[in-house]
Chains A and B, each alone.
Chain A
């Protein structure tokens, strides 16, 4: 044991310098060449700065809604709901979200609502919704903004993010970017 103690302590300190210090600084240096110098990707709109990867809460009828969040979109405390698939409280919560959605979106059939719009995301900060989740909100937005449905349909189509290389992963729409485009329509 004795002959190991000194090398163990010294090796720990050397590793501390190398892996906490030098490694971190190398990656920090690399990040200076990345988008927004490694401070998170941002978009600016009318002088305001937003993080494009972080969901925002949209409650007004004139905006596309994000997915529900278990942490009220708190980007300083991410978490999922951790509700099990058979939990009665959870199922009641989903039912309540469906009911609220139907109230705000007259003319939409229940079977048209995709589940991503009424289930909480894993992080509580999911910036995306599915294409179907955007389409199902189209009538409400057209009505509250007084824009034709065709214009909004066009906007949705142009905001679809395709799978990687067109082959891998799901299609999706960034809600924040879509809403910014919506505001810019006028």
Chain B
């Protein structure tokens, strides 16, 4: 068991060690400083700009940035719908898988374009290789969308007064080619050499040692799984996601995939400090996020190592901990660690089935998504955190009687209104959607009997988890939920759409408005935001606004289940 704990510590250590230099590199990419990869990527980028007729010297205001972002996302959605509803006759379909129905394609297209990767289909039977490759494209560009728009906010936070914040396409293309692409190639190569398939051949049929016939799904898995993690997307090539022994064959690939998904979210924190030249602010943010992360991770790891009390009652041994839905090569500790990482940073890939976790572990997974800013998804995690910083600045400014200023810009009523709306949108979407689903189910449990795989409190948790995951851009699930129905496809699709773009629009608007305000140099009257005290303040605001809003719902689900079995 000790070796399992060491494994989780190793994974965290590698991430932090790599994230600091990567953050510096990302900062250089945003501010257009020379790097050693320029020789390769300058010609590539220029080719992109030339073919697309993009003039990168044209600076954009925050509104123009959002317009460019929304337009290109709309184009992706249209292309995605076209491919997913016509896969059956298009090429690269060796297994003869069918096209998606319109509602499933709607859900899947939104899901991948907005970086959520909720999957109401199963990879082996529900999609062709062409479909997988198109989804892989969204995994690249949706991640780059988040990072690029985060770069815009960074530019607005600099010590100056400006209306224009660089060019959206410039940040977007550079993020794709210079950050995501090279790391994805490295990760995919490691996976490929560790036994993850990368082939365009269809299913193989073999005879087992005992003489049964067995079909094995293959495909271009390594390329897909690399960017799936790197871009905090999380959509699996196979139905079982990274629990599948071909998608995640060894402990080494488990470490690789874990590091890949956590790397950029943490590196972005350090990139912020590099771009606006405030390293201590980065460390404050990193400190608060890491504290929250550990607060969720440690109890979850302990709970899973201790096992399921109901199984213990049967009188058998649980030397490996709770093993339902987990894989032996990964083990309970690394599975529990992954389950919290994937929910706090909005990846949503799983290496074990969250539905089968002990109740409080399931609650911590949901809390990770409800708070949604302990690291958070690539780019957007910082945007979510930015909202809480604005709230904390305002509240603590009022408490100590100082003008609420952040980075030399005065925060006024308009910014506060936007921040509060965005902060409340998340619980509103999750709780109202769950309420609608629950009342439908409660009104006619027989008509909706296909929805829930588990009775009682846990069944409620399945519905709550699905909408939490949709709203948090996460994409993992309590997969017992029978979710490929018209209701779940449309409802989750709409929640994902609103929960992606409004939390991008809000912070960009605030940053844009603040950026154009007069810069006030720091004085004795300024509230210092890069201190531990202020970090504590931010943490308190997160705990009150984000976590407490969900407490009643959690009481009905995982907390009630906990008291029913312990």
A contact set with B: CB distance below 8 Å: 1, 4-12, 14-16, 18-20, 23-24, 26-28, 30-31, 33-35, 37-41, 45, 48-60, 63, 67, 73-88, 90-91, 94-95, 98, 110-116, 118-130, 132, 163-164, 167-172, 176, 179-180, 183
Task: List, in ascending order, chain B residues with CB within 8 A of A40's CB.
Answer: 195, 197, 199, 204, 216, 218, 246
User: Which among B181-189, B282-290, B367-375 touches the partner chain?
Assistant: B181-189
Task: List, in ascending order, chain B residues with CB within 8 A of A172's CB.
Answer: 328-329
Nearest chain B CB to A69's CB is how many angstroms away? 11
A9 touches B75 (CB 8 A): yes
B356 within 8 A of A: yes
29 pairs, A vs B, C-beta closer than 8 Å: A5-B71, A11-B72, A11-B169, A11-B172, A12-B72, A12-B75, A14-B48, A27-B226, A38-B222, A40-B216, A49-B206, A58-B209, A58-B210, A75-B215, A76-B124, A80-B353, A80-B356, A83-B356, A84-B355, A84-B453, A85-B322, A85-B565, A86-B458, A110-B315, A114-B317, A119-B323, A119-B325, A129-B328, A170-B330
Q: A98-B314, A116-B323 are in contact. Are A164 and B216 (CB under 8 A)?
A: no
Those of B73-102 within 8 Å (CB) of chain A: 74-76, 79, 95
Those of B100-125 within 8 Å (CB) of chain A: 122, 124-125
A24 touches B210 (CB 8 A): no
Q: A86-B457, A110-B316 are in contact. Are A123 and B244 (CB under 8 A)?
A: yes
What's the Cα separation between A118 and B58 when bound, in Å? 63
Q: A75-B217, A113-B316 are in contact. Are A48 and B199 (CB under 8 A)?
A: no
A49-B206, A82-B355 known, 15 other contacts, Cβ within 8 Å: A11-B72, A14-B52, A27-B223, A35-B195, A57-B212, A59-B210, A63-B210, A73-B214, A77-B125, A78-B240, A83-B355, A112-B317, A127-B245, A168-B6, A170-B330
Closest to A132 in B: B319
Nearest chain A CB to B114's CB is how many angstroms away? 16
Closest to B218 in A: A40
Contact of B320 among A49, A84, A94, A116 (CB under 8 A): A116
Task: List, in ascending order, chain B residues with CB within 8 A of A130's CB.
Answer: 319-320, 328
B455 within 8 A of A: yes
B324 touches A111 (CB 8 A): no
Closest to B51 in A: A14
Task: List, in ascending order, chain B residues with CB within 8 A of A128's CB.
Answer: 327-329
Nearest 3 pairs of A and B residues by beta carbon: A122-B243, A82-B480, A31-B198
Task: List, in ascending order, chain A residues with CB within 8 A of B297's CB.
Answer: none
B408 within 8 A of A: no
What's the Cα separation between A129 and B331 when bound, in Å? 11
Those of B342-356 within 8 Å (CB) of chain A: 350-353, 355-356
Those of B449-486 within 8 Å (CB) of chain A: 453-458, 461, 478-480
User: Which among B135-143, B150-158, B439-447, B493-501 touches the partner chain?
Assistant: B135-143
Nearest chain B CB to A137's CB is how many angstroms away? 14
Residue from A56, A87, A95, A129 with most neighbouring chain B CB atoms (10 Å) = A87
Closest to B361 in A: A85
What's the Cα separation between A167 and B125 when bound, in Å? 38
B523 within 8 A of A: no
Task: List, in ascending order, chain B residues with CB within 8 A of A83's CB.
Answer: 324, 355-356, 453-454, 480
Task: List, in ascending order, chain A residues with CB within 8 A of B10's CB.
Answer: 168
Nearest chain A CB to B12's CB is how many angstroms away? 12
Closest to A136 in B: B317
